[in-house]
Structure 1
Amino acid sequence: MGHALGTLKRFLLLTGLYYAGAVLASFYLRTPDDITLFWPSAGVGFAVVVRYGLRWAVIVPAALLLLHLTVDPVPDAFVPYSVAANTLSTLAAGWYVLRHRRNDGLHLRTSDGLMLLRGGILLGVAGATIGTIGLVYSGMVPPIESGRAWLLWTLGDLLGITTMAPALSVVLGEGGLRESLWKDRVDKREQTVWTFALVASMAAIVSAGQSGNLYALGLVSLPLALLLWAAVRFSPLTTMVGTILVVTFISLLTGLGLGGFTRPLTLLDASVLMLLLVLISVIPVMLAVATYEQRHTAAALYQRATRDQLTGLLNRATFEERARERLAGAEPDLSLLYLDLDHFKLVNDSASHVAGDDMIRSVAGVVSGEFGDSALVARTGGDEFAVLVPITESAAIACGRRVLAAIDGLRIDWQDQMLTAAASIGIAHSATPHVDFDGLLSHADAACFAAKEYGGNRLVAASREGDELAVRTASMRSALQVREALDQRRFTLFAQPIVPLDPAAASHLRNFEVLLRWTDATGAPRAPAELIAAAERYRLGPRLDRYVVDAVLEWLEARPDQAAMIHHCGINLGGGTLVDEEFSDYFAARLRRSSVPAEKLCLEITETSVVRDRARAQRFIARMRDLGCRFALDDFGTGFCSFGYLQHLDVDYLKIDGSFVRDLGQSELANAVVRSITQIAHVLDKRTVAEQAETVEQLDVLRGMGVDYAQGYAIRRPQSIESFFSEAPARIDALR
């Protein structure tokens, strides 16, 4: 019922608009056989059909029948021709435009304007042809005057279309056309001056006409110039409305002989006048559309350069630029919130990247909806967002908690799955005088990382973390330095011997573990533990391990004599490397082209990395063992869940964690753990290696427990690989 009522209201409104245009045109008719110089209704009907479809051409016969019954009575024989001429021509022009327009509909662009103009010409020609036949048939125009009637009818329709259709298409339009209704960006005073100037130019034309000046019509250049001004400076709709006013004003003066002007008496006079008015109606509008296109393109390019395409938020570069400007200002409080989604990769892997994009858009809506226009909101990475807002830290914490709750409550229905989300937020606050942006971002990022390490779905403020956050920030800087060291290859290979505890098992072949030492940009040596921690935390492990593998193989390939002296060379692999398929492919290819036998390499993996993803670890071990590599399970015993899966893990050595070895003889627990590991290893036909053996006494205890190998300061400290091979192999009996 409501839809039907709305349709009826639209029908009555559009029919009334068409009727009003026809009534205005009837003022030009002095005799029954006159042809109107301006038919605005043609533009009304054309715009309606293009916007709402061909069926809405029904307003044309309804309005014309009402016109002929009330204002413009004509012979009964002409009424069918009048209705048919206007209705059929409107349908033909509408069909042409609807068939040839682009799939994205009509927009304010030059190509669409030219298409509408072609449709208008078709309407004028078709309507004039049918109407002229009717005029002759009904006796309103003698056959000898049919050419004159056809030309005036065509020009009258064309003028009505070029004057009325653009503005009505915008007002009635939706989507692309309605986007032109943006506010003028110029100063209101300029608009006021323009309006007064337009009125003054029309008054000048009337004044010149009343004075009897033969060239009064030449003053039409004044409103034309003002319309061109509007086309360049104002919105297209302003230009279109101004064009309607100017064309209607000039046509009334000349068509009705007002203001001292004389009606065109000949066909040539009428044709020249109507062509002039067509040009006045076309040129400013086309210029306005072209200017709008240019502005629209520039705005689109600016949008692309400054906004994230998926969410519409600021992109990273623009956010940083504007944030630096805000921090350089005098706002008393600025808080930076750095948000990172938890486990977002699972969404992409389990659903799809399209589902991931939906989630990103949903989260972007939550984040931007929480903060007002005074905040800078950006998507800074795949699943990362940043907000700089002028509020205190306590207010930022409150906002952040609301954002976390809203994200936690998100439910995205994707096919047969219900996707959920969670996030971690880090907050850093700055008061005047503000810190630099890089420092503020570093603190917020470190706080966000801390929130993730605490389990995620929580908020951490940098000021409340104290020294712990400072340590994390230092770790982030270390990661950057590690990356730089990798790029510049500022690493040195070290080696530490692994020797059998039974002197009878001693051999001339060497067993050792490769260790890594590095220097910072100043050349100062850095702690290896700092290197490993930073690499693992910031996912540089696979790249670092690839470097070590390549460096060891290159060193041994260049020294075949030393390579021949090796029984096994231990190389540590991080947890991230163990599950990295690309590293597996790389290492397999590198071994195949190496002259160093794979049997001489023993890959050391940690117990915790195996527990993290046992299936992938087993696949990696199986693949490398097929190539000939051996394996050692490093730091064994720290997990205390080891024995349950050990029988299914194909490794050659168990390296007993040094924390137990150091406590031998002082802790019954340490003694029991080392003894148990050794016994179980021998049952499974594996060998044990005791790490961090620091005293001869510890070596004696280890030998008594049946441990196979030892490694530590009690035997030899780590040394450069060159020095390691230049000295005689370390032996346990040499320590006596």
Structure 2
Amino acid sequence: FVWDNTSFRIGASIGLVPISQESGTLTDVLSAADSACYVAKDQGRNRVHTYQPDDEAVSERHGQMQWVQRIQDVLEQNRFRLFFQPIAKLNRATGEKNLTHGEVLIRMLDENNKIVGPGSFIPAAERYQLMPSIDRWVVSNTFRVLTLDKEKVADSVSSCCINLSGQSLSDERFMDFLVSEIKDSGVSPEILVFEITETAVIANLCNASKLISTLREMGCRFALDDFGVGLSSFGYLKNLAVDYLKLDGCFVKNMVGDNIDYAMVQAINQIGHTMDIKTIAEFVEDEATLEAVRKVGVDYAQGYVIAKPMPIEIALYNDPIDLATTEEQAEPVKLKTASTKH
């Protein structure tokens, strides 16, 4: 149809549910129809998708929709938990102080006080635009932990990497939130490293460039995560003022037995160093891979051969809890000696 000299096309995506004696309650039927409708949209729109009890696509979509309410409940009830995976400097100079480097990771505490990994809830959070809320929670609570004992952190922590989603990069209010949180919390900007993925940067290049410029002026640093998977990686790199490149794990984890992956790691590392950018290898899971990235000249390594993720309070403050605790077993911990006041 035409309105105000502008043509509009109308489309329809329909979820259809056959109703029978086994259909369940009205709520069940409407939920199934909603899930089927979303599947119709995912498959190209302008079509009808009929719900079947054994439909895997509908089941996956329905499962994600159930996660939405769980995520919202967890945010309201403060049941996310911060974990921290150390990153090792591979060629530390003789006498150089062994400072803490690492990446902040998020886990969920479910209704039974069990730790839930991000693979269970992040896909739903991304699909339903919940990542900015999660990012804000991570930033605020990471800053809170970093300022529990500012003197100890200043003396022992070199970098604390925090992931930012593409949805947050596209939110023009998010930069103001970050600047305000840094100033209000009293956290030292020099230890903050914000990780953004290559694909998120490409999709939000203008906002990403502005964010990087503003926060680097404050003293923060940036890492470009999952680098190397995009076709335009090196072209965009020339226009982004980043401090670290995190080599995509798909190259690193197979580099010992795959000459092409080995060459990719070499090439990315060399280009990074040519641009005076430090390099970090992800997914370093065994000694052979660790030795390979060290031989190539990569600056830092991250992976299970270095350390598994642990509660952030343990990693930063050596809270007296068994350091062998795994992320699956770990319970949230509270500091016994540090004040929560800034």
1:716 and 2:307 are equivalent in the alignment: yes
1:631 and 2:222 are equivalent in the alignment: yes
Distance 1:637 1:447 in 2: 36
Equivalent residues in 2 for 1:331-730 (5 A)? 411-415=1-5, 417-463=6-52, 466-504=55-93, 507-564=97-154, 565-727=156-318
Which one has the bigger strand percentage? 2
Distance 1:647 1:680 in 2: 10
Equivalent residues in 2 for 1:240-319 (5 A)? none
Give 3-state SS (helix, strand or coil) of 1:602's partner: strand
Q: Name the CA shift for 1:642/1:460 in 2 (closer, same or farther; >3 Å).
A: farther
Query: Which structure 2 segments of 5+ residues have no match?
Result: 320-342
The structure whose RCO (Cα within 8 Å, separation 6+) is larger is 2
Deviation (angstroms), 1:605: 0.8
Aligned residue identity for 1:425? I
Deviation (angstroms), 1:727: 4.6
CA distances 1:369-403 after superposition (whole Å, capped 9, x unpaired): xxxxxxxxxxxxxxxxxxxxxxxxxxxxxxxxxxx
Q: Name the CA shift for 1:511/1:478 in 2 (closer, same or farther; >3 Å).
A: same
Distance 1:567 1:442 in 2: 49
CA distances 1:233-276 after superposition (whole Å, capped 9, x unpaired): xxxxxxxxxxxxxxxxxxxxxxxxxxxxxxxxxxxxxxxxxxxx
CA distances 1:673-693 after superposition (whole Å, capped 9, x unpaired): 211111111122211111110
Contact 1:563 1:596 in 2 (8 A): no
Partner of 1:391: none
Distance 2:106 2:259 in 1: 34
Distance 1:696 1:664 in 2: 12
Distance 2:43 2:242 in 1: 33
Q: Name the CA shift for 1:457/1:689 in 2 (closer, same or farther; >3 Å).
A: farther
Q: Name the CA shift for 1:677/1:560 in 2 (closer, same or farther; >3 Å).
A: same
Distance 1:454 1:623 in 2: 40
Give 3-state SS (helix, strand or coil) of 2:193's partner: strand
Deviation (angstroms), 1:562: 3.2
Distance 1:421 1:465 in 2: 31
Q: Name the CA shift for 1:438/1:562 in 2 (closer, same or farther; >3 Å).
A: farther
Q: Name the CA shift for 1:419/1:524 in 2 (closer, same or farther; >3 Å).
A: same
Structure 2 length-normalised TM: 0.86
Contact 2:172 2:207 in 1 (8 A): no
Contact 1:479 1:535 in 2 (8 A): yes
Distance 2:109 2:213 in 1: 36
Give 3-state SS (helix, strand or coil) of 1:430's partner: coil
Contact 2:166 2:204 in 1 (8 A): no
Aligned residue identity for 1:627? M
Q: Name the CA shift for 1:531/1:434 in 2 (closer, same or farther; >3 Å).
A: closer
Give 3-state SS (helix, strand or coil) of 1:665's partner: coil
Q: Name the CA shift for 1:463/1:668 in 2 (closer, same or farther; >3 Å).
A: same
Distance 2:11 2:220 in 1: 42
Distance 1:703 1:443 in 2: 52
Distance 2:44 2:190 in 1: 41
Distance 1:625 1:461 in 2: 51
Give 3-state SS (helix, strand or coil) of 1:463's partner: coil
CA distances 1:540-561 after superposition (whole Å, capped 9, x unpaired): 1000010010001111222213
CA distances 1:446-468 after superposition (whole Å, capped 9, x unpaired): 22222333343433222297123
Equivalent residues in 2 for 1:138-177 (5 A)? none
Contact 1:607 1:633 in 2 (8 A): yes
Aligned residue identity for 1:681? G
Distance 2:152 2:279 in 1: 25
Contact 1:501 1:710 in 2 (8 A): yes
Aligned residue identity for 1:453? D
Question: What is the aligned residue count?
Answer: 317
Which one has the bigger helix percentage? 1
Structure 1 length-normalised TM: 0.41
Say what the alpha-carbon RMSD is for the aligned residues: 2.0
Give 3-state SS (helix, strand or coil) of 2:68's partner: helix
Distance 1:622 1:470 in 2: 43
Contact 2:85 2:307 in 1 (8 A): yes
Distance 2:254 2:269 in 1: 16
Rg larger in 1 or in 2? 1
Deviation (angstroms), 1:726: 4.3
Deviation (angstroms), 1:594: 2.3
Q: Name the CA shift for 1:449/1:624 in 2 (closer, same or farther; >3 Å).
A: farther
